[in-house]
Amino acid sequence: MIFRKYEFTATQWTAAKKKIQIKDEEENLIWDTSKGTSVVEMGKIWEEVKEEGECIKEAKKISVDILWANQPLTTRFSSYVVWPVPSGIHTFAGWEQQYAKDYCENNPETEFCNPPEPTEP
């Protein structure tokens, strides 16, 4: 399995999710678990919050986390991958370390992947 984080405009997400949905016996749209075992649509994340918890600035794109059964589907999804610093506001239980490893493989120069050496007291 592979855990990836994505950002889409509403139109992009509407088109992309059709690739990973199927209809159940009652014709309801459900996630195709042969493609993505878990899909979490977080919506537009608050980028800035007042001390009282009120949203000051909301993201323009929809945040979605997908735990893929195998490889992520086509470039339709790969072009929307984002790499927020681990672990962000959501992670799948047990996937924190793997996400951190994948993050550093894709962002080797970040401070998260290069913590400062401890200093002597």
Per residue of the chain (121 residues), what is the pLDDT tens digit?
889 999 999 999 999 988 889 999 999 998 888 887 889 998 888 877 888 878 888 889 999 999 988 776 666 788 899 998 887 778 888 899 999 999 999 999 999 998 888 887 7
Q: How far apart are CA 39 and CA 73, in angstroms?
A: 13
What letter does residue 72 receive in the DSSP assignment?
A: P
- 71: which residues sit within 8 A by CB, 6+ positions away? 2
Strands 55-58 and 36-43: unpaired
Q: How far apart are CA 65 and CA 42, in angstroms?
A: 8
Cβ distance 17 to 40 under 8 Å?
A: no
Beta bridge partners of 63: 7, 43
Cβ distance 86 to 112 under 8 Å?
A: yes
Provide the 3-class DSSP secondary structure of residue 10: helix
